[in-house]
Amino acid sequence: MTDESRDALLSGYRRFREDHWPAARAEYEALASKGQKPHTLVVACSDSRADPALIFDTAPGQLFVVRNVANLVPPYEPDGHLHGVSAALEFGVKVLGVSRIMVMGHAHCGGVNAMRHGAPDNCQDFVAPWVAQGAPVVRRVCEACTPEEAERAAEEAVVRLSLQNLRTFPWIAEREAAGTLALSGVHFGIADGVLRSLRDGEFVSPGLRACKRDARFMQRSMADRVEVFGAPV
């Protein structure tokens, strides 16, 4: 860690302790004693510009977040190998009992760009095979688009792919069929801050009124929670 990054982190921690902690202390103590009960599991990209907790303005304990390159969910493969995303899904669904899984893509995604054009030469050990799982779908979608449309179309295609792969997990598919688990997809625009939701096969902007309603969803109890990001896709 460089001196500059260490100083930035320590400064942030000091602000947390001085500005945030006094008012939030009771909330954190309750989370420590009672445990977490997040309502939503978010599969998001590791990109530092697209933070789900910040975008949805959620409190600690409300989101169970899984982040990786290009917000990818691999298919269900219980083969004894190391599957970090699948392990998080299993824990979130079976242990924490989340009522929603949301896949959140974003604009200007480097991982999706690697699916289109290949991973950087110095990222062949892990990034290249990871993004390869989405490359065929992304390239097929881009062939049907204009160059101006290709970037966002590719990012949206990866969200759809991850949703498709989520349904290969039997305990996710069973809960979705039973109505106890909802799946949804969104795409966040970094430059304009607009969140677009997947509804009836298309990504649409919910508008300000719907955004306020969606924000209220994050504060609801599990018993009162309803579908606000569009019908399950």
- Assess if CATH 3.40.1050.10 describes domain 36-217: yes
**Domain map of the chain by residue range?**
1-35, 36-217
Mean pLDDT, residues 139-157 taken together = 96
pLDDT, residue 134, reads 98
How far, CA to CA in Å, does 15 sit from each of 4, 12, 18, 61?
17, 5, 5, 20
Question: What is the mean predicted confidence (pLDDT) over 73-90?
Answer: 97
Confidence label for 204 from pLDDT (cuts 50, 70 and 90): very high
| Token pair in block for residue 60 | 């600690």
**Comparing 5-14, 135-144, 185-194, which segment has the lowest mean pLDDT?**
5-14
How many CB atoms are closer than 10 A to CB 128? 15
Q: Is 196 helix (H, G, I), strand (E, B) or coil?
A: strand
In 3D space, the residue among 153, 124, 128 whose CA is nearest the CA of residue 138 turns out to be 153
| CA pair distance 134, 154, nearest whole angstrom | 10
Both tokens assigned to 28: 């954190």
Least confident of 3-7, 74-78, 112-116: 3-7
Instruction: Give the pLDDT score at 213.
Output: 53
Give the model's pLDDT for residue 225. 39
**Token pair listed for 1:** 């860690």
Distance CA 202, CA 159 (A): 11
